[in-house]
Amino acid sequence: MAILCTSFSHSIFHFSLPLSSSGSSPSSRPSRIRFSWRSASMDSGDELRAKFLEFPYVSGAQRNLMLELVSSVETRLGPSLQPCTLPPDIQHFGNPTGTASASLHLRPGLPSSQIDFTLGGWIHCKLPSGGALNITSLSAYLKPSTDAPHFLIELIRSSPTSLVLILDLTPRKDLIFYQDYLKTYYEDTQLDRHRQRLHMLPEVRAYSSPSLYIRAVVSPTAILVCIDIESGEETKMEEIIRDHVSPIAIEVLQFWIESCAGLERHVGEPEIAYLAERDRIIKNKTIEVDLGSSFPRMFGQEVADRVLGALKEYYNK
Protein backbone atom coordinates (compact mmCIF):
# COMPACT_ATOMS: atom_id res chain seq x y z
CA MET A 1 0.00 0.00 0.00
CA ALA A 2 1.31 3.49 0.54
CA ILE A 3 3.63 5.32 2.83
CA LEU A 4 2.39 6.66 6.17
CA CYS A 5 -1.06 5.17 5.90
CA THR A 6 -0.81 1.50 5.37
CA SER A 7 2.08 -0.87 5.37
CA PHE A 8 2.74 -1.11 1.66
CA SER A 9 4.27 2.28 1.21
CA HIS A 10 4.54 2.50 -2.57
CA SER A 11 1.99 1.72 -5.21
CA ILE A 12 3.66 -1.30 -6.79
CA PHE A 13 3.09 -0.05 -10.30
CA HIS A 14 5.18 3.06 -9.61
CA PHE A 15 8.42 1.14 -9.07
CA SER A 16 11.09 1.37 -11.76
CA LEU A 17 12.31 -2.13 -10.95
CA PRO A 18 12.99 -5.08 -13.26
CA LEU A 19 9.86 -7.23 -13.08
CA SER A 20 10.83 -10.08 -15.36
CA SER A 21 12.63 -12.42 -12.98
CA SER A 22 10.95 -15.17 -11.07
CA GLY A 23 9.71 -14.22 -7.60
CA SER A 24 10.64 -15.99 -4.41
CA SER A 25 8.72 -19.09 -3.46
CA PRO A 26 7.67 -20.09 0.03
CA SER A 27 10.58 -21.24 2.13
CA SER A 28 10.52 -24.25 4.41
CA ARG A 29 13.22 -22.83 6.68
CA PRO A 30 12.01 -22.57 10.28
CA SER A 31 11.72 -19.09 11.72
CA ARG A 32 13.60 -17.93 14.79
CA ILE A 33 10.44 -16.56 16.39
CA ARG A 34 7.93 -19.10 17.64
CA PHE A 35 4.28 -18.15 18.07
CA SER A 36 1.81 -20.34 19.89
CA TRP A 37 -1.25 -19.45 17.81
CA ARG A 38 -2.00 -22.89 16.39
CA SER A 39 -4.35 -25.12 18.34
CA ALA A 40 -7.24 -27.46 17.75
CA SER A 41 -9.66 -24.83 18.99
CA MET A 42 -8.56 -22.01 16.69
CA ASP A 43 -11.39 -19.62 15.81
CA SER A 44 -11.56 -17.56 12.62
CA GLY A 45 -9.60 -14.70 14.19
CA ASP A 46 -6.76 -17.06 15.13
CA GLU A 47 -6.72 -18.52 11.63
CA LEU A 48 -6.55 -15.11 10.00
CA ARG A 49 -3.74 -14.05 12.32
CA ALA A 50 -1.92 -17.24 11.44
CA LYS A 51 -2.23 -16.41 7.73
CA PHE A 52 -0.74 -12.98 8.39
CA LEU A 53 2.17 -14.46 10.36
CA GLU A 54 3.00 -16.96 7.64
CA PHE A 55 4.62 -14.27 5.47
CA PRO A 56 4.58 -16.71 2.53
CA TYR A 57 6.44 -16.43 -0.77
CA VAL A 58 9.50 -14.75 0.78
CA SER A 59 12.87 -16.12 1.85
CA GLY A 60 13.61 -17.49 5.30
CA ALA A 61 15.69 -14.47 6.33
CA GLN A 62 12.98 -12.02 5.32
CA ARG A 63 10.30 -14.03 7.10
CA ASN A 64 12.44 -14.28 10.24
CA LEU A 65 12.95 -10.53 10.27
CA MET A 66 9.23 -9.81 9.94
CA LEU A 67 8.35 -12.27 12.69
CA GLU A 68 10.95 -10.76 15.00
CA LEU A 69 9.61 -7.25 14.40
CA VAL A 70 6.00 -8.33 14.95
CA SER A 71 7.05 -10.20 18.09
CA SER A 72 8.78 -7.09 19.46
CA VAL A 73 5.70 -4.95 18.84
CA GLU A 74 3.33 -7.46 20.41
CA THR A 75 5.60 -8.13 23.41
CA ARG A 76 6.37 -4.49 24.19
CA LEU A 77 3.15 -2.82 23.08
CA GLY A 78 0.61 -5.64 23.38
CA PRO A 79 -0.97 -4.35 26.63
CA SER A 80 -1.67 -1.05 24.85
CA LEU A 81 -3.31 -2.64 21.79
CA GLN A 82 -6.75 -4.03 21.04
CA PRO A 83 -7.30 -7.17 18.93
CA CYS A 84 -7.47 -6.80 15.15
CA THR A 85 -10.71 -5.08 14.20
CA LEU A 86 -10.70 -5.54 10.42
CA PRO A 87 -13.47 -7.73 8.93
CA PRO A 88 -12.31 -11.24 7.92
CA ASP A 89 -12.54 -10.48 4.18
CA ILE A 90 -10.22 -7.51 4.70
CA GLN A 91 -7.72 -9.39 6.84
CA HIS A 92 -7.11 -11.89 4.04
CA PHE A 93 -8.16 -11.48 0.41
CA GLY A 94 -7.21 -12.23 -3.17
CA ASN A 95 -8.31 -11.75 -6.74
CA PRO A 96 -10.76 -14.08 -8.54
CA THR A 97 -8.02 -15.71 -10.65
CA GLY A 98 -5.78 -16.53 -7.69
CA THR A 99 -2.80 -14.59 -9.03
CA ALA A 100 -2.75 -12.08 -6.17
CA SER A 101 -3.33 -12.41 -2.44
CA ALA A 102 -2.74 -10.30 0.63
CA SER A 103 -3.06 -10.26 4.39
CA LEU A 104 -3.57 -7.27 6.68
CA HIS A 105 -3.49 -7.21 10.48
CA LEU A 106 -4.51 -3.94 12.11
CA ARG A 107 -4.57 -3.48 15.88
CA PRO A 108 -5.92 -0.19 17.27
CA GLY A 109 -4.46 1.29 20.40
CA LEU A 110 -6.49 1.40 23.59
CA PRO A 111 -8.15 4.76 24.35
CA SER A 112 -5.60 5.36 27.11
CA SER A 113 -2.66 4.58 24.82
CA GLN A 114 -0.55 6.95 22.70
CA ILE A 115 -0.69 4.38 19.89
CA ASP A 116 -3.19 4.99 17.12
CA PHE A 117 -2.71 1.60 15.48
CA THR A 118 -0.18 -0.92 14.22
CA LEU A 119 -0.53 -2.47 10.79
CA GLY A 120 1.35 -5.43 9.42
CA GLY A 121 0.86 -7.20 6.15
CA TRP A 122 2.10 -8.99 3.09
CA ILE A 123 1.12 -8.94 -0.54
CA HIS A 124 1.89 -11.39 -3.35
CA CYS A 125 1.21 -10.65 -7.00
CA LYS A 126 2.13 -12.84 -9.95
CA LEU A 127 3.33 -10.91 -12.98
CA PRO A 128 2.45 -11.53 -16.63
CA SER A 129 6.13 -12.20 -17.26
CA GLY A 130 5.99 -15.24 -14.99
CA GLY A 131 7.75 -13.60 -12.07
CA ALA A 132 6.18 -12.24 -8.90
CA LEU A 133 6.21 -9.19 -6.67
CA ASN A 134 6.26 -9.79 -2.91
CA ILE A 135 5.97 -7.13 -0.23
CA THR A 136 6.16 -7.48 3.54
CA SER A 137 5.70 -4.54 5.85
CA LEU A 138 5.02 -3.27 9.32
CA SER A 139 4.04 0.20 10.42
CA ALA A 140 3.01 1.82 13.68
CA TYR A 141 1.24 5.13 14.15
CA LEU A 142 0.84 7.40 17.14
CA LYS A 143 -2.14 9.53 18.11
CA PRO A 144 -2.14 13.32 17.74
CA SER A 145 -1.75 13.63 21.52
CA THR A 146 1.98 13.22 20.79
CA ASP A 147 4.07 14.56 17.93
CA ALA A 148 6.63 11.73 17.95
CA PRO A 149 7.37 10.08 14.58
CA HIS A 150 5.62 7.04 13.17
CA PHE A 151 7.49 3.81 12.33
CA LEU A 152 7.63 2.17 8.90
CA ILE A 153 9.45 -0.74 7.30
CA GLU A 154 8.86 -2.38 3.93
CA LEU A 155 10.76 -5.00 2.01
CA ILE A 156 9.81 -5.21 -1.65
CA ARG A 157 11.08 -8.13 -3.73
CA SER A 158 10.69 -8.03 -7.50
CA SER A 159 12.94 -11.05 -7.91
CA PRO A 160 15.18 -13.28 -5.78
CA THR A 161 18.12 -11.05 -6.72
CA SER A 162 16.59 -7.62 -6.08
CA LEU A 163 15.24 -6.06 -2.89
CA VAL A 164 14.06 -2.54 -2.08
CA LEU A 165 14.16 -1.60 1.60
CA ILE A 166 12.29 1.34 3.11
CA LEU A 167 12.92 1.96 6.80
CA ASP A 168 12.05 5.22 8.49
CA LEU A 169 10.77 7.09 11.49
CA THR A 170 8.49 9.36 9.52
CA PRO A 171 8.36 12.93 10.86
CA ARG A 172 5.13 14.65 11.80
CA LYS A 173 6.43 18.20 11.96
CA ASP A 174 8.27 20.56 9.64
CA LEU A 175 11.96 19.89 10.27
CA ILE A 176 13.02 23.36 9.14
CA PHE A 177 10.62 25.26 11.37
CA TYR A 178 10.93 22.84 14.33
CA GLN A 179 14.68 22.33 14.48
CA ASP A 180 14.49 20.95 18.02
CA TYR A 181 12.36 18.11 16.59
CA LEU A 182 15.06 17.39 14.01
CA LYS A 183 17.70 17.39 16.74
CA THR A 184 15.70 15.23 19.17
CA TYR A 185 14.66 12.44 16.83
CA TYR A 186 17.21 12.42 14.01
CA GLU A 187 20.41 14.25 14.91
CA ASP A 188 21.12 13.41 18.56
CA THR A 189 20.03 9.81 17.97
CA GLN A 190 22.53 9.41 15.12
CA LEU A 191 19.94 7.51 13.08
CA ASP A 192 21.83 8.33 9.92
CA ARG A 193 24.59 5.90 10.87
CA HIS A 194 22.30 3.02 9.86
CA ARG A 195 21.91 4.36 6.33
CA GLN A 196 25.64 4.98 6.08
CA ARG A 197 26.38 1.46 7.29
CA LEU A 198 24.24 -0.14 4.60
CA HIS A 199 25.74 2.02 1.88
CA MET A 200 29.15 0.57 2.67
CA LEU A 201 28.03 -2.73 1.14
CA PRO A 202 28.89 -3.07 -2.57
CA GLU A 203 25.48 -4.61 -3.30
CA VAL A 204 23.61 -1.59 -1.93
CA ARG A 205 22.72 1.56 -3.85
CA ALA A 206 20.42 4.45 -3.10
CA TYR A 207 16.82 4.09 -4.20
CA SER A 208 14.99 7.22 -5.32
CA SER A 209 11.25 6.82 -5.52
CA PRO A 210 9.70 8.23 -8.71
CA SER A 211 6.97 9.71 -6.49
CA LEU A 212 7.73 13.26 -5.33
CA TYR A 213 5.00 12.83 -2.73
CA ILE A 214 6.79 9.89 -1.12
CA ARG A 215 10.13 11.68 -1.19
CA ALA A 216 8.49 14.66 0.54
CA VAL A 217 7.16 12.77 3.56
CA VAL A 218 10.14 10.65 4.61
CA SER A 219 12.78 11.87 7.05
CA PRO A 220 16.33 12.94 6.09
CA THR A 221 17.64 9.76 7.76
CA ALA A 222 15.25 7.44 5.91
CA ILE A 223 16.78 4.27 4.49
CA LEU A 224 15.67 3.88 0.89
CA VAL A 225 17.99 1.43 -0.79
CA CYS A 226 18.01 -1.18 -3.51
CA ILE A 227 20.03 -4.34 -2.88
CA ASP A 228 21.06 -6.21 -6.02
CA ILE A 229 23.03 -9.44 -6.23
CA GLU A 230 24.25 -11.55 -9.12
CA SER A 231 21.98 -14.24 -10.49
CA GLY A 232 22.66 -17.57 -8.85
CA GLU A 233 23.92 -15.99 -5.62
CA GLU A 234 20.61 -15.91 -3.76
CA THR A 235 22.32 -17.03 -0.56
CA LYS A 236 24.15 -13.67 -0.59
CA MET A 237 20.82 -11.87 -0.32
CA GLU A 238 19.93 -14.05 2.67
CA GLU A 239 23.21 -13.10 4.33
CA ILE A 240 22.67 -9.39 3.73
CA ILE A 241 19.15 -9.50 5.18
CA ARG A 242 20.25 -11.59 8.17
CA ASP A 243 23.55 -9.88 8.99
CA HIS A 244 22.91 -6.27 7.98
CA VAL A 245 19.25 -5.37 7.35
CA SER A 246 17.81 -7.26 10.33
CA PRO A 247 20.08 -5.81 13.07
CA ILE A 248 19.44 -2.28 11.79
CA ALA A 249 15.67 -2.73 11.50
CA ILE A 250 15.45 -4.27 14.98
CA GLU A 251 17.49 -1.44 16.50
CA VAL A 252 15.39 1.26 14.83
CA LEU A 253 12.17 -0.39 15.98
CA GLN A 254 13.46 -0.71 19.54
CA PHE A 255 14.36 2.98 19.54
CA TRP A 256 10.86 3.84 18.30
CA ILE A 257 9.20 1.68 20.96
CA GLU A 258 11.29 3.13 23.80
CA SER A 259 11.69 6.77 22.75
CA CYS A 260 8.59 7.48 20.67
CA ALA A 261 5.78 5.14 21.74
CA GLY A 262 7.14 4.62 25.24
CA LEU A 263 7.74 8.23 26.28
CA GLU A 264 4.93 10.69 26.83
CA ARG A 265 5.42 13.89 24.84
CA HIS A 266 2.25 15.88 25.29
CA VAL A 267 1.27 18.66 22.92
CA GLY A 268 -1.23 21.49 23.27
CA GLU A 269 -4.76 21.53 21.88
CA PRO A 270 -3.94 23.64 18.77
CA GLU A 271 -1.10 21.27 17.87
CA ILE A 272 -3.30 18.21 18.45
CA ALA A 273 -5.72 19.55 15.86
CA TYR A 274 -2.85 20.20 13.43
CA LEU A 275 -1.37 16.71 13.85
CA ALA A 276 -4.78 15.05 13.50
CA GLU A 277 -5.52 16.92 10.29
CA ARG A 278 -2.02 16.26 8.89
CA ASP A 279 -2.32 12.52 9.53
CA ARG A 280 -5.86 12.48 8.09
CA ILE A 281 -4.76 14.19 4.87
CA ILE A 282 -1.87 11.77 4.35
CA LYS A 283 -4.06 8.73 4.99
CA ASN A 284 -6.78 9.80 2.58
CA LYS A 285 -4.34 10.94 -0.10
CA THR A 286 -2.72 7.53 -0.02
CA ILE A 287 -6.01 5.72 -0.54
CA GLU A 288 -7.09 8.08 -3.31
CA VAL A 289 -3.82 8.26 -5.23
CA ASP A 290 -1.75 5.14 -4.59
CA LEU A 291 -4.09 2.36 -3.55
CA GLY A 292 -6.94 3.56 -5.73
CA SER A 293 -4.88 2.88 -8.85
CA SER A 294 -2.91 -0.23 -7.87
CA PHE A 295 -5.44 -2.33 -5.99
CA PRO A 296 -8.00 -2.59 -8.80
CA ARG A 297 -5.24 -3.84 -11.13
CA MET A 298 -4.15 -6.52 -8.70
CA PHE A 299 -7.40 -7.62 -7.07
CA GLY A 300 -10.19 -6.42 -9.34
CA GLN A 301 -12.52 -3.50 -8.73
CA GLU A 302 -14.95 -5.30 -6.40
CA VAL A 303 -12.28 -6.54 -3.99
CA ALA A 304 -10.40 -3.23 -4.19
CA ASP A 305 -13.53 -1.23 -3.35
CA ARG A 306 -14.26 -3.46 -0.36
CA VAL A 307 -10.73 -3.27 1.07
CA LEU A 308 -10.16 0.43 0.41
CA GLY A 309 -13.63 1.28 1.73
CA ALA A 310 -12.89 -0.50 5.00
CA LEU A 311 -9.52 1.23 5.37
CA LYS A 312 -10.98 4.64 4.58
CA GLU A 313 -13.73 4.11 7.13
CA TYR A 314 -11.16 3.29 9.80
CA TYR A 315 -8.80 6.14 8.88
CA ASN A 316 -11.58 8.71 9.11
CA LYS A 317 -12.86 7.70 12.54
Instruction: Sketch the domain layout of the chain as residue ranges.
Output: 16-315
Instruction: Give the β-pairing of 100-108 and 132-142.
Output: unpaired
Q: Check: CB of residue 60 under 8 Å from CB of residue 238.
A: yes
- Say what the pLDDT of residue 264 is: 84
pLDDT tens-digit map of 241-264: 999 999 999 999 999 999 999 988
pLDDT tens-digit map of 72-121: 999 999 999 999 989 999 999 999 999 999 999 999 999 999 999 999 99
**Cα–Cα distance for residue pair 6/104, rounded to 1 Å:** 9
Mean pLDDT for the chain? 85
pLDDT tens-digit map of 92-101: 999 999 999 9
pLDDT tens-digit map of 5-60: 333 434 344 433 333 333 344 343 334 444 433 434 446 778 999 999 999 999 99
pLDDT tens-digit map of 135-156: 999 999 999 999 999 999 999 9
Q: What is the arithmetic mean of pLDDT over 259-277?
A: 91
Cβ-based neighbours of 126, under 8 Å, separated by 6 or more: 23, 99, 100, 132
Give me the percent of the chain exceeding a pLDDT of 70.
Answer: 86
Residue of 151, 125, 155, 149 lying closest to 137 (CA atoms): 155
> What topology does CATH give the domain 16-315?
oxygen-dependent coproporphyrinogen oxidase (3.40.1500)
pLDDT tens-digit map of 162-209: 999 999 999 999 999 999 999 999 999 999 999 999 999 999 999 998
Q: What is the pTM of this model?
A: 0.86
